[in-house]
Amino acid sequence: MKPAGSTTLHRALRAIAAVLSFAILFNQSARAATIHQVAATAQTPQAPPPPKVSVPSQAPVPTQIAAARTIFLVNNGADANFPITAQDAYNRVYAALQAWGHFQLVSSPDQADLVFQLRDIAPVTGVYGDRAGTYAINSPAFQLAIKDPKSNVTLWTVNSPVQIAGRKAARAHWLDIAVTNLVSRVKVLANQQLDETETADLTTYPHYHGTGFAIGLIAITVGAAVATGLIMKHEFDNKVSSQNAALCAQNPFFCSLPTP
């Protein structure tokens, strides 16, 4: 017969052995599952990276503009402060487009690939005032809306500023440049090359105040010099007269001498 202490120790050792066996079995099962998962992940093909989307440096121009061959020009009138009449502006732009010759101008929108709607605008871009009142500054421009005649959708809008400078001949010159610039911008949309003169006209502006300011400054300078000279001469004459009067008072004989 085994002692009671020996039986208890034996049971404890059996319990410890059972716990260790279970822990070893659980650890092996967990390791096997991890290895299986890693292997499955390695065998799964990786999804390719998303393709890079190329962003164009410049938004495309509607292809209808370059493909068009016939146009219909519409006179949409002019704002009240525009420097010439709507009919005059229409005639100038019509003649310039006709001289270009790239598009055939037709007499009906039904015959046209594109409709050009011309509007002569003069928006208020500034306000100034003085004691005489308040005045608005207008910036006139030719505005050309290019439309698809079938859908009536505006494909593009072109603006060409109209510079107001000088008198009759000078104003006509700057109006011609504004019309040329309007057609040049349409040429660029139609993938047509500009010559050197057309390219230079796009950045040509009148010098409104440079010459007038220089002339005014010179006039002011010369006037100030003349006025200063007159004042100095007047002061000198007064000083001489005062000295002569003092000498006469002291010595009457001096004043009676004949003048040389």
- Tally of CB atoms within 10 A around 76: 15
pTM over the 0.75 mark? no
CA gap 135, 124 in Å, rounded: 10
Q: Is residue 237 within 8 Å of 245, Cβ to Cβ? A: no
179 — phi, psi (to 5°)? -65, -45
* DSSP state string for 45-94: PPPPPPPPPPPPSSPPPPHHHHH--EEEEEEEEE-TT-SS-HHHHHHHHH
Under DSSP, the state recorded for 120 is E
- List, for residues 192-250, the tens digit of each pLDDT value: 999 999 999 999 877 654 444 444 445 455 555 555 555 565 565 666 566 555 555 66
CA gap 52, 55 in Å, rounded: 9
